[in-house]
C-alpha cells in the first residue's frame, strides 16, 4: 500500500502554528480532508481491529492512539462503541463491547 502524502489545503492558514485543515492524498489520487487533526476516512481505510471486551482494556487502547479520526456511520442495530484512529501509521478501529461475554466478542468480529 503506498504511503499517503500530507499537504495543506489552499487558502487555509494554521491557527497558532498548528495545522487545523489538512488534505491527505492516498495512493489512488483520492484525498480526504481533516479538521482539527481528525481525519475523515472511509471504512475501507481501516486495516487493524482491536477488540476490547473490558472497559479497562478500551481505556488503555485509546491512550495508545497517536491520533483519533472522525466517526463513520454505524448500523442502528450495532450497539458497540467504536473509536477510529491510527497507531504508527496504521489506521485502527478500537471496538468496545456494549455488554460483556463471548457472544458479543464473537459478534463484533463479523
Q: Please state the domain count of the chain.
A: 2
pTM check: above 0.95: no
Q: Are residues 73 and 27 in the same domain?
A: no
Q: Are residues 32 and 56 in the same domain?
A: no
User: Does residue 101 contact residue 109 with C-beta atoms inside 8 Å?
Assistant: no
Domain that holds residue 8: 1-40
Q: Are residues 65 and 106 in the same domain?
A: yes
pLDDT in tens for each of the 110 residues of the chain? 444 444 433 443 333 333 333 444 444 545 555 445 577 899 999 999 999 988 999 999 999 999 999 999 999 988 899 999 999 999 999 999 887 777 766 777 76
Rounded to whole angstroms, the Cα distance separating 25 from 4 reads: 6
User: Does residue 70 contact residue 63 with C-beta atoms inside 8 Å?
Assistant: no
Rounded to whole angstroms, the Cα distance separating 49 from 94 reads: 6
Q: Are residues 51 and 31 in the same domain?
A: no
Amino acid at each position: 500500500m503506498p504511503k499517503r502524502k500530507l499537504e495543506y489545503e489552499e487558502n487555509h492558514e494554521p491557527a497558532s502554528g498548528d495545522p487545523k485543515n489538512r488534505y491527505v492524498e492516498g495512493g489512488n489520487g483520492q484525498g480526504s480532508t481533516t479538521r482539527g487533526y481528525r481525519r475523515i476516512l472511509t471504512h475501507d481505510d481501516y486495516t487493524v481491529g482491536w477488540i476490547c471486551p473490558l472497559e479497562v482494556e478500551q481505556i488503555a487502547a485509546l491512550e495508545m492512539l497517536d491520533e483519533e479520526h472522525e466517526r463513520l456511520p454505524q448500523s442502528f442495530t450495532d450497539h458497540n462503541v467504536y473509536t477510529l484512529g491510527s497507531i504508527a501509521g496504521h489506521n485502527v478501529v478500537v471496538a468496545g463491547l456494549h455488554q460483556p461475554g463471548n457472544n458479543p466478542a464473537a459478534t463484533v468480529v463479523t
